[in-house]
Amino acid sequence: MGNIKLQILLKSTSIGINEIDKNGPRLNSIIEINPDALLIAEELDNEAATGKPKGPLFGSPVILKDNIDTHDKMPTTAGATVLKNSFPGTDSFVARKLREAGAVIIAKSNLSEWANFRAKMSSSGWSGVGGQTKNPYVLDRNPCGSSSGSGAAVSANLCMVAIGTETNGSIVCPSNNNGIVGIKAHSGPYQPYRYCSNIILSGYSWSDGTDSGRCCHNSGALTGIDSSDSKTIASKGKYLTDYTKFLKKDGLNGKRIGLQKKDMGFSDKVDSLMNKTIAYLKSHGAEVVEVEFPKGLNYEDASYQVCCMNLRTD
């Protein structure tokens, strides 16, 4: 894939190394640059020159949401100023898996402070450390959160893949608003984060996490068993490290896809895009079924209670 150091250099300069981005739009999608990114990339180049085996993400620039622990020169802040000098003593499970796969963690991304679980009127994509994350398509529009920085960074092509966390829309919403592919993984094979300073910060639900990016095949490199996490232990023998064999050209054939049509009718442009997407899905063999959520159920209150129950110390 060419000279990794050069590729990381190009990515890094676009997100702030040497403050090059002062002359362009500031997305505020990045909280911290990895000062060792170029050194790591150079080491990988040297490994490649000696013919050593390469991991599936060898040389890939990756950005982690800043509530995911990394044991390096970058703090893990959750966007909160009280943690701006918090340096974890160990890598999170997913950070370790990324390094083992050959990825270069080039930065930590901005987020809705405390993963958007701090106030009922919190601003999506804002943190005390990183300020307001901006949507790269329209700078004054909502990038959505809480993994707003990860979504905006991928959309702006600052990295190949970014890692976020989700309990209640914190991946699917930034992916939607920033025009990228988002994967909301189920509990079990993934354990993207560990807890920071004995307080649960990462997605505010200890049981869920995910990654967002343009390349879905990165998922295999992040699966595995974390001996300290019962959710992943239960996945022993039930996960793969390579999911690319499931990528098929006719993969939509026979699939039933739900459409909540009541969300349409507010914008002609959005409706036009939706109708084109529906037609595309059908032309490739999918069955699009109109669905409605049951009436009379207060999902927001139930969701809030679930989030509160997931808060814990560790």
* Domains delineated in the chain: 4-246 (3.90.1300.10), 256-302 (no CATH)
Q: Give the CA distances from residue 57 to residues 19, 61, 150, 167, 305, in Å, rounded to whole numbers and listed in that order.
A: 27, 9, 18, 26, 38
Concerning whether 86 is annotated as a catalytic residue, the answer is: no
- Distance, in Å, from the CA atom of 220 to the CA atom of 56, rounded to the nearest integer, reads 9
3-class SS of residue 16 = coil
> Phi/psi class of residue 71: alpha, beta or left (left: φ > 0; alpha: ψ in -120 to 50)?
beta
Concerning whether 230 is annotated as a catalytic residue, the answer is: no
For residues 136 and 27, is the Cβ–Cβ distance under 8 A?
yes
Q: DSSP readout, 139-190?
A: TTS---SSSHHHHHHHHTTS-SEEEE--SSSTTHHHHHHHT--EE-PPBTTB
Q: Which of 267, 161, 276 is nearest to 214 (CA)?
A: 161
Could you list the pLDDT tens digit for every one of the 314 residues in the chain?
Answer: 457 666 666 555 555 544 433 444 578 999 998 989 888 988 888 888 888 888 888 888 899 999 999 999 999 999 999 999 999 999 998 899 899 999 999 999 999 999 888 877 788 999 999 999 999 899 999 999 899 999 998 888 888 889 988 878 888 899 989 988 888 776 654 444 332 222 222 333 334 444 443 344 467 777 778 777 777 777 788 777 777 788 788 999 999 999 998 889 999 999 999 999 999 999 999 999 999 877 767 777 777 777 776 554 44
DSSP category for residue 52: -
Backbone φ and ψ of 22, nearest 5°: -65, -25
Tracing tokens 């896809």 back to the chain, one arrives at 257
- Distance, in Å, from the CA atom of 154 to the CA atom of 133, rounded to the nearest integer, reads 13
pLDDT at 205: 39
Q: Which of 109, 147, 170, 202 is catalytic?
A: 170
- Distance, in Å, from the CA atom of 26 to the CA atom of 9, rounded to the nearest integer, reads 19
pLDDT at 186: 65
Backbone φ and ψ of 163, nearest 5°: -105, 135
Q: Which of 109, 146, 205, 235 is catalytic?
A: 146
Q: Which of 5, 11, 65, 134 is catalytic?
A: 65
- pLDDT of 209-255, one tens digit each? 444 433 444 677 777 787 777 777 777 887 777 777 887 889 999 99
pLDDT at 77: 96
- pLDDT of 55-87, one tens digit each? 888 888 899 999 999 999 999 999 999 999 999
What's the N-to-C CA distance of the chain in angstroms? Answer: 41
Q: Which of 136, 138, 79 is nearest to 110 (CA)?
A: 79
Concerning whether 219 is annotated as a catalytic residue, the answer is: no
47 exposure class (CB count in 10 Å sphere: 0-12, 13-18, 19+): middle
Whole-structure pTM value: 0.82
> How many CB atoms lie under 10 A from the CB of residue 33?
17
